[in-house]
């Protein structure tokens, strides 16, 4: 997922899930990774709960915004 501003929600995720969900950020690439360390915790559910788009969703919304601005 794209890091900014969604990485600001990581403390909330850690507060709720503790060590069962692991996050890390590749700062130069502006990409963050969220991993479940528990079989019952699905990352898709965590992303939805905290209103965080996947990288593909983020990319798609950026493409739509660019096309709109370019009048394509």
State yes or no: pLDDT of 72 exceeds 70.
no
Alpha-carbon separation of residue 55 from 11, 15, 41, 59 (angstroms): 20, 23, 19, 6
- Cβ neighbors of 54 (< 8 A, separation 6 or more) are 1, 47
Confidence (pLDDT) at 48: 96
Over residues 11-20, the pLDDT tens digits come to 999 999 999 9
Over residues 19-69, the pLDDT tens digits come to 999 999 998 888 899 999 999 999 999 999 999 998 889 889 889 888 888
């Amino acid at each position: 997922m794209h890091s900014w501003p969604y990485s600001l929600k990581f403390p909330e995720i850690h507060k709720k899930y503790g060590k069962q969900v692991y996050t890390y950020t590749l700062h130069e690439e502006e990409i963050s990774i969220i991993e479940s360390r528990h079989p019952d915790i699905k990352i898709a559910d965590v992303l939805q709960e905290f209103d965080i788009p996947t990288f593909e969703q983020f990319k798609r919304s950026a493409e739509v915004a660019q096309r709109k601005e370019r009048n394509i």
